[in-house]
Amino acid sequence: MPAAGTLSDMTTSADPFNPTARPPLRISDPGDLLAAIPAMLGFRPERSVVLVCLGGPTGTALGAVMRHDLIAPPGDSAIEPGLTAEMAAAIEQFAIVCARERATSVIAVVVDQDADCRDCHWCTGDGTAECAAMSRAPLHTAVVEAVARAVGKHGCALIGAHVTCEIATGSPWWSLLDDPRNGLVPDPDVSPVTTAHVLEGRQIRASRTELADLLTGDRARRREVARALPEVRAAQAERFGGQRTGRSFTARKKLEFVLFEVDNLASGEEPSARAFAALALALEHRIVRDAVMALAVGEKDLAAEALWLAMTRVLPHPERADAATLLGFSAYVRGDGPLAGIAFEAALTADPEHRLAWMLDSALQGGIRPEAMRELATCGFEQACTLGVPLPPARER
């Protein structure tokens, strides 16, 4: 299995081939498929292997989309490309997800800047020995052949494999495995899939790095919050440490405080350093953290996610882990796998032993659908009920 949350990304819907959930997307031209990948992933992949699942009644509806870094073995050459253990493990995990998604076929896409041929800018298999695209072809072929073998074990067929040096307007693409097709990538910004995703309110980033940068805040602000933590912790110990205040009372007050800050941020008021510190300490109460997971399916889901993002950007380690985990869970539930994976990576960097982050990241990498994660949110409503704190009602599905 790929390293948790570090190099792989996946997007999937609750039931990708169910036309009653939403009209299934279908793409017949490889160039159009390549142009749609940034919208399906949420960013433009670089040096990547992308696998697109197809299924449904006709076998042509788009399903889960998976991505992993394209990793060349040390000393990679045209004579003996081979596969790294990590690349092979990622492909095996791809195949497991394909089976879980009930995909009938898949298309592999290799995005490799090192395959850019500056002599002809167009690889049809007739390049010279010095052609960059030709020199990388053995690696690309080894990868897609491994994909074909892996998915074939689960009754799924590889029906196409295409290569491009970048997903950008006018970038040449070509096919592997005796497929003669080639062409130019259309404008990704006007892809029908891009249009559909933008209308749904989804953002498309220029790269995975840009997506990861969303979680990187101001270092000075983080130091300010770190300095406030000991003082706020001491003040709370004094306030809630008396015999008259039990754990339920403390948890209820802290849950109410989190909900108050969700509304505050939604109204345009960013928490102070002390408030961020208090929020971090509130989430240390597991019943509070578990309760606010319900916000991911409630009427204030976006407001809550904005707070988790703001906290992730300013909290120090290890306090950052809880906020990043909640951010990842919120993104996961709404089908934004790449953001979820990056958030879980941040959580596990802040606290490598964070059990909830590990569990959620393993579910994401294993292809568990967002719909299954909603059960955790349901438990959050139950936790809040035990504390006597009403939460925003769940949205209708």
Give the whole-angstrom CA distance, residue 186 versus residue 34.
Answer: 8
Contact 264, 279 (CB under 8 A): no
Does the pLDDT value for residue 279 go beyond 90? yes
Look at residue 289 in the predicted model and tell me its pLDDT.
96
- Residues found in the chain: 397
The mean pLDDT value for 303-315 works out to 96
CA dihedral 356, 358, 361, 363 (to 10 degrees): -80
Range scoring the smallest mean pLDDT among 178-187, 201-210, 253-262: 201-210
d(CA 37, CA 43): 8
Identify the pLDDT of residue 130.
Answer: 57
Q: Specify the pLDDT at position 20.
A: 44
| Encoded tokens for 256 | 């109410």
More confident: 84 or 10: 84
Half-sphere exposure of 248 (CA within 13 A, CB side): 7
Residue 115 has pLDDT above 70, yes or no: yes
pLDDT band of residue 273 (cuts 50, 70, 90) is very high
Query: Is 60 exceeded by the pLDDT of residue 204?
Result: yes
Q: In what order do the strands lie in the sheet with 61-69?
A: 8-11, 61-69, 48-55, 105-111, 157-164, 172-175, 182-184
Q: What is the mean pLDDT of residues 73-87?
A: 71
Please tell me the predicted confidence (pLDDT) of residue 62: 79
| Cα–Cα distance measured from residue 245 to residue 63, given in angstroms and rounded to the nearest whole number | 51
Residue whose entry in the numeric block shows the structure tokens 């990948």: 37
pLDDT at 314 over 80: yes
Asked if residue 127 lies in contact with residue 117, where contact means CB atoms within 8 angstroms, the answer is yes
Chain centre to alpha carbon of residue 13: 12
| Average pLDDT value for the chain | 84
pTM, two decimals, is 0.76
Task: Provide the sign of the torsion angle of the four alpha carbons 378, 376, 222, 42, taken in this order.
Answer: negative
**Residue 63 pLDDT grade (very low, low, confident, very high; cuts 50, 70, 90):** confident
For residue 6, the model assigns a pLDDT of 36
Question: Using CA atoms, how far apart are residues 295 and 288, in angstroms rounded to an integer?
Answer: 12
Q: Work out the average pLDDT over 246-255.
A: 87
- Please give the radius of gyration of the chain, using alpha carbons only, rounded to the nearest integer: 23
Share of the chain above pLDDT 90, in %: 54
Distances (CA, A) of 331 to 33, 116, 167, 295: 24, 34, 24, 12
Beta-carbon contacts of 347 under 8 Å, excluding residues fewer than 6 positions away, are 320, 321, 322, 324, 325, 328, 354, 357
Please answer whether residues 347 and 357 qualify as being in contact, where contact means their C-beta atoms are separated by less than 8 angstroms: yes
- The confidence score (pLDDT) of residue 26 equals 57
Report the range of poorest mean pLDDT among 50-64, 161-175, 223-237, 257-271.
50-64
H-type helices in the chain, by residue range?
Answer: 30-41, 85-100, 132-152, 192-199, 208-213, 219-240, 247-266, 273-283, 286-292, 301-314, 320-333, 337-350, 355-365, 370-387
Q: Give the pLDDT of residue 5.
A: 34
More confident residue, 128 or 274: 274
248, 387 contact by CB (below 8 A): yes
> What pLDDT is recorded for position 197?
61
Query: Does position 278 have pLDDT exceeding 90, yes or no?
Result: yes
| Highest mean pLDDT (candidates 61-70, 90-99, 233-242, 371-380) | 90-99
Q: Is the dihedral of CA 284, 287, 292, 294 positive or negative?
A: positive
Exposure string over 48-83, b if 16+ CB within 10 A, otherwise e: bbbbbbbbbeeeebbbbbbbbbbbbeeebeeeebeb
Confidence of residue 95 (pLDDT cuts 50, 70, 90): very high
Give me the pLDDT at residue 334, please. Answer: 87
High-pLDDT (> 70) share of the chain, %: 82
Token couple for 321: 């882990």
Measuring CA to CA, which residue among 94, 93, 104 is closest to residue 16? Answer: 104
Span 200-225, average pLDDT: 82
So what's the pLDDT on residue 213? Answer: 87
pLDDT the model gives residue 3: 34
More confident residue, 36 or 324: 324
Over 50: is that where the pLDDT of 180 sits?
yes
